């Protein structure tokens, strides 16, 4: 089980990005973390991946538990040891390496024969990558890069997979396809998936539970059906619901969530 308890994160010692976030993810569960720009979504991903130090950030308070292990301050390689892989925003593939080299780099901990088998499996799952396996990853399209980074993440053998904004910059049809693949992966491998997204409509289609972040805090938490019924979530994250834009603005000004 992944548990985040009252997590507070600051950048450069002064900018408070997460202000007491608490959430839990059970093994094999799919959870969406939604929220607008600047809500702290990416910060949460970096914290889970143990990568805050690379962004001049640090955990001020609270803790992150993975099973029995506390990984809050354990450095960048600790989450990996406990089976958590964080895919950062913007599809950070190695652009100067070929597709094959990217996969080999990600799977470096596997024994040679296993690695070859697993790579073949990834390539079978994403045939586009197989076609372009000897090309530099920097020349792939956005969707292909997203598939590559997911394939790389799989080769790290996660039990918990955290993905930050996979839909960013992709055409809607690609997003739907990508999310279906994610869901399929999650089911087949029994992964726990934490999908961090702005594209709430697409994300809701494939998850069991939802957290909504705003200004570094959790402002909504519930099952998917509840989220889809909740008027606030509907209005602010799905752009639907009873209130029009003007009323939504007024609602926002009341700052009920702050």
Partner 1 sequence: MSFFLQLLVAGIATGALYALMAMGFVLVYRATRVVNFAIGEFLLVGGYLTYTLNLVLPLPWAMVLTLPLAFAFGLLVERGFVRPLLGRNVVAVIMATIGLALALDGATQLAWGPDQKYLEGQLPVLTLALGELILPSRSVWSLLLALPAALALVYALKRSRYGVLVRAVAESEVAALAMKIPAPRIVALVWGLSAALAAVGGALLAGLSGVGPHLIAMGLMVFPVAILGGMDSVGGALLAGMLVGVAESLSRGYLEALVPGITEATPFLIVLLVLLARPYGLFGEREIERV
Which residues lie near partner 1 (CB under 8 A)?
49-51, 53-56, 76-77, 80, 85-88, 92-97, 101-102, 104-106, 108-109, 136, 138-139, 152-153, 156
CB 107 within 8 A of CB 118: yes
Taking the least distance from each CB to partner 1, the nearer of 149 and 175 is: 149
Shortest CB 152 distance to partner 1, Å: 6
Q: Strands of the chain (E only): list them.
A: 2-11, 15-25, 30-34, 57-66, 69-70, 84-87, 160-164, 192-197, 209-214, 217-223
CB of 230 to partner 1, least distance (A): 33
Least CB distance to partner 1 at residue 229 (A) = 36
Distance CA 45, CA 54 (A): 13
35 vs 57, which CB is nearer to partner 1?
Answer: 57
C-alpha 195/C-alpha 32 separation (Å) is 5
Pairing status of strand 192-197 against strand 30-34 = parallel
Nearer CB in complex with partner 1: 96/184: 96
If the CB atoms of residues 108 and 187 are measured against partner 1, the closer one turns out to be: 108
Give DSSP secondary structure letters for 191-223: -EEEEEES-HHHHHTT-SEEEEEETTEEEEEEE
Burial of 161 (0-12, 13-18, 19+ CB in 10 A): buried
The b-or-e profile of 60-70 (16+ CB within 10 A means b, else e) is eebebbbeeee
Cα–Cα dist 186/163, whole Å: 12
Q: How far is the CB of 195 from partner 1 (least distance, A)?
A: 16
Q: For the CB of residue 131, give the shortest distance to partner 1 in the complex, in Å.
A: 17
Task: Give the nearest distance from C-beta 85 to partner 1 in angstroms.
Answer: 7
Smaller CB separation from partner 1, 157 or 208: 157
Nearer to partner 1 among residue 138 and residue 239 (C-beta): 138
């Amino acid at each position: 089980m992944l548990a985040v308890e009252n997590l507070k994160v600051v950048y450069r010692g002064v900018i408070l990005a997460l202000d007491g976030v608490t959430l839990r993810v059970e093994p094999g569960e799919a959870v969406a973390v939604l929220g607008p720009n600047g809500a702290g979504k990416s910060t949460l991903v970096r914290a889970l991946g143990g990568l805050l130090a690379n962004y001049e950030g640090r955990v001020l308070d609270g803790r992150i538990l993975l099973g029995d292990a506390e990984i809050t301050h354990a450095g960048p390689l600790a989450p990996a040891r406990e089976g958590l892989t964080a895919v950062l925003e913007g599809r950070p593939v190695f652009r100067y390496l070929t597709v094959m080299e990217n996969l080999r780099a990600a799977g470096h901990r596997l024994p040679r024969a296993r690695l070859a088998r697993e790579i073949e499996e990834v390539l079978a799952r994403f045939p586009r990558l197989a076609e372009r396996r000897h090309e530099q990853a920097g020349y792939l399209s956005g969707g292909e890069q997203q598939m590559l980074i997911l394939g790389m993440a799989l080769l790290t053998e996660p039990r918990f997979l955290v993905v930050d904004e996979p839909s960013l910059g992709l055409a809607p049809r690609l997003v739907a396809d990508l999310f279906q693949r994610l869901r399929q992966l999650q089911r087949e491998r029994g992964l726990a998936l934490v999908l961090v997204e702005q594209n709430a409509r697409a994300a809701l289609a494939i998850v069991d539970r939802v957290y909504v972040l705003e200004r570094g805090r959790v402002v909504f938490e519930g099952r998917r059906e509840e989220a889809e019924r909740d008027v606030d979530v509907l209005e602010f994250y799905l752009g639907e619901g009873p209130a029009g834009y003007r009323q939504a603005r007024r609602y926002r000004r009341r700052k009920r969530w702050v």
